[in-house]
Amino acid sequence: MTALVLDGKQLASQIETQLATRVAAIKARSGRTPILATILVGGDPASATYVKMKGNACQRVGMESMKVELPESTTTEELLAAIARLNANPDVHGILLQHPVPHQIDERACFDAIELAKDVDGVTCLGFGRMSMGEVAYGSATPAGIMTLLRSYNIPLSGKHAVVVGRSPILGKPMALMLLAADCTVTVCHSRTQNLPDFIRQADIVIGAVGKPGFIKGEWIKDGAVVVDAGYHPGGVGDIELSAVKDRASAWTPVPGGVGPMTICTLITQTVEAGEKLIG
């Protein structure tokens, strides 16, 4: 079987070309530029790298980014104040709070302080609730990016059995609801699911989102399944044992180069959409 490689890097590049045209149109009619504000609390090197990558993506499409860097000792109240200033700033069209924040901060309270119209990373409870009800909201960036990837490669979804392994509030749970909205039959599993291999063997579509390297074994996945690995760990490995399934899957995402580029692309896409709405 020749499997289809779901190349997120290539697709993201194509979408960025389209976004650059939209950003240029905003500038031409308003004289203003969509701006994504990124908030980085503390000095975690991986988080700093992710924020830099998002800033670079803004530059590629002609947007601007505003970097807010706060010390490791920042309190919840100080972070809430910084978010409030960005909410009130008419020149900021999207707000990203880089996850995770230091342990002393109430991350959920800070996520939910982001104004819905600027929640381009799809992290607020209000945005999640609206999305789950089929109302207008920006989707959580990684699952929304996966949906774009699947649809762009014409992967059949309606009526298929999708198994999502992972239940995090910004990946596993919204992923399950997005697939459900696309008429999949969805099973949500996690690290404590009993008889996990039995569930995965039933899947037409497997989404690895559990956050543990190599947790999902290739032998558990049936021939012809669509395999999406949303994990990324040191050494360039994901949540799924891809080496054991590449020749048996009908389609699969590489790690890196699959889901990761689509996450950033979705964030930028939703910031452009927010700019179009807020600038007018």
Tell me the torsion sign for CA atoms 245, 217, 47, 101. positive
> How far, in Å, CA of 44 to CA of 57, rounded?
20
AA identity, residue 263: T
Contact between 63 and 272 (Cβ < 8 Å): yes
Please work out, in degrees rounded to the nearest 5, the angle formed at the alpha carbon of residue 13 by the alpha carbons of 266 and 17.
90
Q: Which of 7, 112, 119, 121 is catalytic?
A: 121
Catalytic residue list contains 10: no
> How far, in Å, CA of 230 to CA of 259, rounded?
6
Catalytic residue list contains 14: no
Catalytic residue list contains 106: no
Q: Which of 7, 54, 173, 239 is catalytic?
A: 54
Kindly give the pairing relationship between strand 205-208 and strand 185-189. Answer: unpaired
> How far, in Å, CA of 7 to CA of 64, rounded?
26
> How far, in Å, CA of 214 to CA of 221, rounded?
13
Give 144's Cβ-side CA count (13 Å radius).
Answer: 22
> How far, in Å, CA of 239 to CA of 253, rounded?
12
Kindly give the pairing relationship between strand 4-5 and strand 185-189. Answer: unpaired
Residues belonging to the active site: 54, 98, 121
